[in-house]
A and B are shown apart, each in its own frame.
Chain A
Amino acid sequence: MKFRSILFFLFCVIVGLLISIQSRIITGTFLYVSPKVIQDYDASIKSEKTEIEKLKTLISEKEEKIKEYEAISGKGDDIVASMQQELDRLKLMSGYKDVQGEGALIILDDGTRELYEYEDPNDIIVHDIDLLMILNDLKIAGVEAISINGQRVINNTEVNCSGHSVRINNQFFAQPFIIKAVGDPVIIESALSAPGTYGELLREYGLILDIYKSINIRIPKYSEAVDYKFLKTIEEGEV
């Protein structure tokens, strides 16, 4: 057999190979999808994986607790202590306990400078969204408790600007807004002052945003009673 023929034969085999591998990869009527679909899947997968990690941590904490209970089983007082601890933690988490710790005191107020020609006075007034963004930036900075003018900020807290006053947790307030936050003071300061932050933007517009780091900030608990009219827990076994 001539060398040329063998070589040519080899190339044909390669092409045949590619053709059949291709036809295996591509099945179905709609042959191609856009990369956006892949991106969406990647995002969902990433998000679910993070959740799984969190759940694993939760599981190991629960298992620890069960071990603890089994070790002290029979000793009524110890179980009470352990349950009381858990209760305190939940209250702390949901804002139903006074807290104190390192943090910062933040003062937010309308600007006092002169308006430029044709400038909209709204530009140097504090709005709902300004408070919401500051609160959000504080949460991103990892603060553990926040209050505005003495009102503890919990998950249901609303910030509603109406005219010259603001309603928070159904109480009315006017400027200045005194925000207290417990967390790392340095991180809090940079979250509200570093270039590119919302806090810095407010300052550029002329609003007053002052931060006072402190080694001890006291934040009161949420003072309303809880009254859920619509919420029901899902009991064990229910779907």
Chain B
Amino acid sequence: MKITSGQIVIGILALIIGLSISIQIGALDGDVIEGGLVPIQKAQSLAQELQKIRNEKEILVEEVTSLEAKIKEIEEAESKDDILLQSLISELDKYKMISGMKEVKGPGIIITIDDPPAEDVNYSDVSVIMYNYELLLSLLNKLNDAGAEAISINGQRIVAITEISLAGSNVNINSVPTAPPFEIKAIGNPETLDSTLNIRFGIIDKMRNRYSLQVKIQKSDEVVIPRYNEIVKFRYAVPVE
């Protein structure tokens, strides 16, 4: 088959078009803010699945609490006449609270941080707050500075060994993947917490003005902070007697 010059031209143009299409697709890969339509049915079925999983989790949390109550019951029964045991039990309670193994409540503050609204983002396919997670570390630090007694981020209790790491498209806290918006709860003096965070050129100022993040702060008379849900296994550290 003889190939005419016209066919060669068309072939080359077709190649260029094909290239452009795939470059364009590549450029937008990951930018899921525009483009794409998914029927609401899929979103609804995911919402149902999420609800089911949340219910399952609730049941498990209740089971843990009731098992702990049973353990405490046994411990108290054994200690009825024993002062030593009774003081042990109250020490146990105290350190359970200190180490974050108990759900707690108290006056405090609730901070919600979200990425800048979609229209303001110029082809950014990574969440601003996730990429700049050191802002979260700074915020936690300021809360501690202002006397926060317990803190949680997106339901994860912050304990001594809590880490915040960027893993793929999520931020892992206590090894649990989370994503924005980030809800940070802290128990402490609501006035002190609020004013420490809101000082001029402080962390909240920086988040709003330098990074255009949407930050909401709300003082509250009762903030509930969940417990830490893991068994800590020590493989290197040994207590010194």
Question: What are the interface flags for A16-51 relative to B under an 8 Å C-beta threshold, 1 for contact and 0 otherwise?
Answer: 000000000111101111111111111111111111
User: Are the CB atoms of B64 and A46 closer together than 8 Å?
Assistant: no
A-B pairs, top 5 by smallest CB distance, nearest first, are A94-B99, A139-B163, A62-B67, A41-B46, A32-B37
Chain A residues engaging chain B, CB cutoff 8 angstroms: 25-28, 30-52, 54-59, 61-63, 65-66, 69-70, 73, 76, 79-80, 83-84, 86-103, 128-129, 132-133, 136, 139-140, 143-146, 153-160, 182-184, 218-219, 226, 228-234, 236
Partner of A99, one of B41, B49, B101, B238: B238
Contact: A49 with B53, CB < 8 Å? yes
> Is the Cβ of B236 less than 8 Å from the Cβ of A184?
yes
Interfacial chain B residues near A70, Cβ < 8 Å: 74
CA distance A94 to B63 in the complex (A): 24
Smallest CB-CB separation from B159: which chain A residue?
A155
Task: Kindly list chain A residues whose C-beta atoms are within 8 Å of the C-beta of B230.
Answer: 54, 57-58
Residues A144 and B137 in contact in the complex (CB < 8 Å), given A42-B46, A155-B158, A233-B97: no
B residues contacting A by CB (< 8 A) are 32-33, 36-43, 46-47, 49-50, 53-54, 56-57, 60-61, 63-65, 67-71, 74-75, 78-79, 82, 84-85, 88-89, 91-108, 134, 137-138, 141-142, 144-145, 148-151, 154-155, 158-165, 169-170, 175-179, 187-189, 224, 229-232, 234-240
Nearest B residue to A97, CB-CB? B239
Residue pair B160, A35 in contact (C-beta under 8 Å):
no
- Assess whether B69 is in contact with A144, with CB atoms less than 8 Å apart: no
B84 — which chain A residues lie within 8 A by C-beta? 80
Say yes or no: B33 contacts A36, CB within 8 Å: yes
Are B46 and A230 neighbours in the complex by a CB distance under 8 Å?
A: no
CB-CB under 8 A from A158, the residues of chain B are 141-142, 144-145
For B236, the closest partner residue in chain A by CB is: A101
A-B contact pairs, 13 of them (CB 8 A): A25-B39, A26-B40, A27-B40, A33-B37, A39-B169, A51-B155, A51-B176, A73-B78, A76-B82, A87-B95, A95-B160, A96-B98, A229-B189
Given A43-B170, A129-B134, A226-B98, A35 and B163 contact (CB-CB distance below 8 Å): no
Which A residues are CB-close (under 8 A) to B231? 57-58, 61
A183 to B104, CA, bound (A): 30
Residues of chain B contacted by A80 (CB below 8 angstroms): 84-85, 88
Bound complex: CA of A28 vs CA of B98, how far in Å? 49
A63 to B, closest residue via Cβ: B67
Would A230 and B39 count as touching, CB distance under 8 A? no
Residue among B60, B74, B95, B187 with max Cβ neighbours from chain A (10 Å):
B95
Given contacts A34-B38, A58-B64, A76-B85, contact A48 B78 (CB under 8 A): no
Q: Specify which chain A residues have a CB less than 8 angstroms from the CB of B61 in the assembled complex.
A: 55
Report yes or no: A103 in contact with B91, Cβ–Cβ below 8 A: no
Partner of B50, one of A44, A183, A229: A44
A residues near B178, Cβ cutoff 8 Å: 43, 47
Instruction: Decide if B46 touches A102 in the complex (CB within 8 Å).
Output: no
**Closest Cβ neighbor of A69 among chain B residues:** B74
Taken together as a complex, chains A and B put the C-alpha atoms of A39 and B127 apart, in Å, by: 13
Q: Are A33 and B74 in contact (CB under 8 A)?
A: no
A83-B92, A84-B88, A90-B96 given; A234·B177 CB < 8 A: no
Taking the nearest CB of chain B, how far is it from the CB of A30, in angstroms?
6
A132-B137 contact given A47-B176, A230-B189, CB 8 Å threshold: yes
Question: Which one of B46, B71, B94 contacts A69 once the chains associate, using CB atoms below 8 Å?
Answer: B71
Q: A43-B179, A59-B67, A144-B234 are in contact. Are A35 and B149 (CB under 8 A)?
A: no
State the CA gap A155–B11 with chains docked (Å). 65
Chain A residues, CB < 8 A from B64: 55, 58-59, 62
